[in-house]
Amino acid sequence: MKNLEETIKLLNHIQENPESTQRELMKKGDISLGKVNFLIQGLTEKGIIKLKRFKSSRKKMAYLYLITPKGIKQKAEITRDFLKAKLEEYGKLKKKIEMLSQAVDDTGANG
């Protein structure tokens, strides 16, 4: 699934605050409104979340975002994939830092 980091942020916030508006999700996740809408549509189509309409005195018509049982499983898989990618990225960066540090040390020893 693309957009792993944004998807995880969105699902975490939805799980804690299912009554959030898309604008609130945008602010909390630091994601554009268009991206929030795009992600919600994709998550809904995949059965990861479902939307439930409700009436509120504050808002004429609003949605409740609910993570489905399939969504809970998917969220764990997405989080695992994201963590794996970040750990691989960390490993590569750590090797690069070690190489650069060694190069600086070698240059300093010769200078």
Render pLDDT for 55-105 as a digit per residue (tens, 0 to 9). Answer: 664 655 678 899 999 999 999 999 999 999 999 999 999 999 999 999 998
Percent with pLDDT over 90 in the chain: 59
Closest listed residue to residue 3, CA positions, set 82, 74, 62, 77: 82
Q: Does domain 4-110 have CATH number 1.10.10.10?
A: yes
Closest listed residue to residue 36, CA positions, set 44, 25, 46, 45: 25
- 3-state class (DSSP) for residue 64: strand
